[in-house]
Structure 1
Amino acid sequence: MELYQAKVQKLAASATLGLITTVFLGKTSDLVKLNMEARKEYGIDIKLVVDDDLNTATFMVNDSGILMEDGIVIDKASEFRNLSEKDQLNMEDRIRVMAGSSPSDKLLLLQRLKKKGQVVAVVGASSRDSPVLEEADLGYSVGELAKEASDVIIMGQKSITNIFPILGFGRCVCNNIQKFVQLQLTLNISAFTINYILLLSIMPEPIGLLELLWVNLLMDIFGVLALAQPPPITEIAMDPPKFGEKGFQYLTKTVWRNIVAQACYQVTVVLILYFKGKWILGTNQKVLEAMIFNCYVSCQVTVLINARGIQYGRMENNMFWVLVAAIVILQVAFMEIMAVLSPVGRLDLKQWALCVGIAVFSFPLGWVAK
């Protein structure tokens, strides 16, 4: 966020940034002409809500380039205030400018927008805006004037124009949260299903507590860092958040398809190896147990890569691949240490290659699920 001269005061605001659909602008005396093409690309509605008269507000509109297509200009905020709630809800989406607005008028328009499911960010420049900033889903303050009521403080000469890339940063955060939820649910659903099936069969579980702790440790630390690597301004940043009947959902149908497909594959692989591995591979029980666990961890790595996607440039991917390599190296070290300290067998190169091959097969499965 330092790149955009912004300070996030509340951690949850990092995710809320990615859900914004509407931005309230107030005084725009410090603005350069907004790049309206960028506003179109981000898919965010801009409303100019000021306490100035209509002439001054019109000048601001022309200066900032706010689009007026199919829009409504409110000469005096009292016109909107005096309407019935039903009429207010019917027109609030199309309001582009509302002149002569008091803080209570801004608050009223904000409440109507939120009631219709909009996620609203308000840019405040004075302490008078504190009630609106507190009510907004996300409160921006320009400089230090209303920082106590704000979630994000933006500073610098181009502070207003930094709003869009900051919102894009938030969309990347939301996308990374979604990917991490997918990774963790795949891991835990598959482990639970495997152990539950074998518990019902009165068979010892193939993935013990130590192994589960280890794979969760790998993914919670290195997996999180790897998923956090995409640069802020990408195609994801330009993609508006998609809201369903229940608002924004991290667990979309696509995410569930990925989870179910990968979890089913992992469960199938582990159970086949568990019950038929000796006969298929011609190996002993100790080596088989090591292969089962190694296949399971290798599958999590492919799920991580599938979740991350390869849609970014090579340079942006460098740190991601470094972290993936770190996971692989640590897994190799763990398997070698386990072979010395516990009755788990040591894998040869052929068996390692087989584990990797089984895991790699989940790549096309992930592409189909997407």
Structure 2
Amino acid sequence: MTVVDAYVGRNKINPPGDRSQFDMVDGGDIEVSGSPTEKAILHWGVKLGMKFDVIRSESEVLQVSPFNSEKKRGGVALKKSNSQVHIYWKGAAEIVLASCTGYLDSNGSWQSIDNDKAFFMKAIDDMAERSLRCVAFAYRSCEVDEVPSDEEQLEQWNLPEDDLVLLAIVGIKDPCRPGVKDAVKLCTDAGVKVRMVTGDNLQTAKAIAMECGILAPDAEVSEPTIIEGKAFRQLSEKEREQVAKKILVMGRSSPNDKLLLVQALRKGGDVVAVTGDGTNDAPALHEADIGLSMGIQGTEVAKENSDIIILDDNFASVVKVVCWGRSVYANIQKFIQFQLTVNVTALIINVVAAISAGDVPLNAVQLLWVNLIMDTLGALARLNHPPIILCADLQLVGGGLSCHFKINNNKKGKALYQVSILLVLNFFGKSILNLNDSTEHANQLKNSLIFNAFVLCQIFNEFNARKPDQVNVFSGIMKNRLFVGIVGTTFVLQIIIIEFLGHFFTTVRLDWKLWIVSLVIGITSWPLAMIGKLIPVPRTPFIKIFIKPYQRCIAARSARTA
């Protein structure tokens, strides 16, 4: 943050860096501490040549009124070396200006502010339109006998806030960090609506929002798209729920306004993430579905009430949070899809075969190998997947899991295909393969073919599970070498099991023709999955069509009973 513009009286002074008007303080840069706003003002004062050490040594702090987010200002009472008491106020320019009755001109003379208040308001608006944060300084004298002499009373003394004399108005530039505008666009394209809630006035908030890309540069915005915190908090609870969805920028807000906005959005069914760094942001951070606090400027209270701490205090990191969150959710979907397909197929095949023929084609050792493919190797194959690119196709997951319906349909289609083809092999495999029914070898050969085809189906199904909502499952596959390595290793191990470890797995060797049959059965799952993804998915699940009449019937019966 840096001070860009400043008004002393009716005179607009040049930036302190302009040596034609002011000289830099001897000794070079001076290190200052405090909030970003205070640091910018102190740097400006140092560049003007102000001797802070001298002023502090000649003054005594009597009372401090910390900055209040409701009043938008803070004050301090100082006793000078000549025993005069001055009360200084610093805060939002238009709010401090409203309490002023006069101002000091560039010569240090007192002037009435009545005729010049419109000039100062225009100066504030001009700076605000250029996304400058406007801060005003004012003071008033106080008689010594008005100051409480008792220490306990002094601590509870409310500093006078009226009849102030305006000293200066400064415009502070807080430039957007590099990448923020791109991050906002990424979030918007991904279906994440970015809202800005700030204590700055509406003009400054609007200009910053346009600079960040939250508002379009040429957009004509009006309430409730851009709204003051005071107007929002005066609405009823139902009105807040309706207005909250339309808000993009809220200015002159208090911490309670941010909390009310979060509550209204959540009641409307939205998933809400909140960023904040101050102690006053703690309620909103705690209330939100995801609280994001700042690791550098954030207070301990804010960090304790948040779910995630952004270490670099950069909004662009929020995109990474959303990216990784969606990636984890997508990987869970993929893994569940893969697991259910394997489990459902194996269960149905063995249960149907056991009931009808008294024998199962897949024995315990074979199922252990399938389980190893499904749980261990299957999970490792997805472990190294990079985060997915944010896109509008994969919406945020909240109350409705719309992605599940398409995935469930794909899973059902693949499971139905595997169950059908393997049951056909179980009951008619011997006749299809022209095997002699009376020999044990024929039965083992049939079961080995079923086992081999089943495992190859799962290997090829690994590719389908990579991108359950996309037709092209091979895009970017070579970027994940771990996936390719695990799938290749699984296939090699399956060859070794069938050809060399038949004694342990109760299998027999298959000739090249049966290997081709197994491969064809496995590869067929690819085009079937592609076809399944092209089938439109209804918004309402099929089962709900039958559940709703049942629920109505139960409700009507309960009403009659009552």
Sort the TM-score into its range (normalised by shorter chain): 0.7 to 0.9
- Which residue number corresponds to residue 130 of structure 1? 282
- Which residue number corresponds to residue 304 of structure 2? 148
Mapping 1:164-183, distance limit 5 Å: 164-183=319-338
Gaps of 5+ in 2: 1-173, 436-441, 468-472, 534-562
Number of residue pairs matched by the alignment: 339
Identity, % of aligned positions: 37
Residue 195 of structure 2 aligns to a residue whose secondary structure is strand
Matches of 2:511 and 2:257, distance apart in 1: 72
Matches of 1:244 and 1:64, distance apart in 2: 26
Matches of 2:507 and 2:230, distance apart in 1: 77
In structure 2, relative to structure 1, the CA distance for the partners of 1:73 and 1:258 (3 Å cut) is closer
Matches of 1:359 and 1:314, distance apart in 2: 19
Compare CA radii of gyration and give the structure with the larger one: 2
With normalisation by structure 2, the TM-score equals: 0.56
- Which residue number corresponds to residue 238 of structure 1? 391
- Aligned letter for 2:431? W
In structure 2, relative to structure 1, the CA distance for the partners of 1:196 and 1:246 (3 Å cut) is farther
With normalisation by structure 1, the TM-score equals: 0.82
Deviation of 1:228 after TM superposition, in Å, equals: 4.2
In structure 2, relative to structure 1, the CA distance for the partners of 1:30 and 1:244 (3 Å cut) is closer
- Which residue number corresponds to residue 355 of structure 1? 518
- Which residue number corresponds to residue 200 of structure 1? 355
- Aligned letter for 1:54? L
Q: Aligned match of 1:31 in 177, 190, 207?
A: 177
8 A contact 1:46–1:66 mirrored in 2 = yes
Matches of 2:187 and 2:403, distance apart in 1: 24
Q: Aligned match of 1:61 in 172, 191, 209?
A: 209
Gaps of 5+ in 1: 1-27
- Aligned letter for 1:135? E
What RMSD over aligned residues (CA atoms) do the two structures have, in Å?
2.6
- Which residue number corresponds to residue 253 of structure 2? 101
- Flag the structure with more relative contact order, 1 or 2, with Cα contacts below 8 A and sequence separation at least 6: 1
Mapping 1:299-314, distance limit 5 Å: 299-309=457-467, 310=473, 312-313=475-476
- Aligned letter for 1:136? A
Deviation of 1:75 after TM superposition, in Å, equals: 4.7
8 A contact 2:497–2:505 mirrored in 1 = no
- Aligned letter for 1:178? Q
After TM superposition, the structure 1 stretch with the greater mean CA deviation from structure 2, 148-157 or 130-139, is 148-157
In structure 2, relative to structure 1, the CA distance for the partners of 1:338 and 1:120 (3 Å cut) is same
Residue 238 of structure 1 aligns to a residue whose secondary structure is coil
- Which residue number corresponds to residue 371 of structure 2? 216
- Which residue number corresponds to residue 150 of structure 2? none
- Aligned letter for 1:181? I
In structure 2, relative to structure 1, the CA distance for the partners of 1:343 and 1:306 (3 Å cut) is closer
8 A contact 2:273–2:289 mirrored in 1 = yes
Write 1 or 2 for the structure with the bigger share of strand: 2
Deviation of 1:303 after TM superposition, in Å, equals: 1.4
8 A contact 2:478–2:484 mirrored in 1 = no
- Which residue number corresponds to residue 275 of structure 1? 427
Residue 150 of structure 1 aligns to a residue whose secondary structure is coil
- Describe the superposition over 1:97-154 as per-residue Cα deviations: whole angstroms up to 9, x where unpaired: 1123222221111011011111111111123322222221111112153332222222
8 A contact 2:342–2:415 mirrored in 1 = yes
Write 1 or 2 for the structure with the bigger share of helix: 1
8 A contact 2:191–2:395 mirrored in 1 = no
Residue 153 of structure 1 aligns to a residue whose secondary structure is strand
- Describe the superposition over 1:62-104 as per-residue Cα deviations: whole angstroms up to 9, x where unpaired: 4323215566355531211121122111111111111232222
Deviation of 1:168 after TM superposition, in Å, equals: 2.4
Deviation of 1:243 after TM superposition, in Å, equals: 7.1
After TM superposition, the structure 1 stretch with the greater mean CA deviation from structure 2, 96-105 or 111-120, is 96-105
- Which residue number corresponds to residue 285 of structure 1? 443
In structure 2, relative to structure 1, the CA distance for the partners of 1:246 and 1:75 (3 Å cut) is closer
In structure 2, relative to structure 1, the CA distance for the partners of 1:300 and 1:311 (3 Å cut) is closer
- Aligned letter for 1:332? I
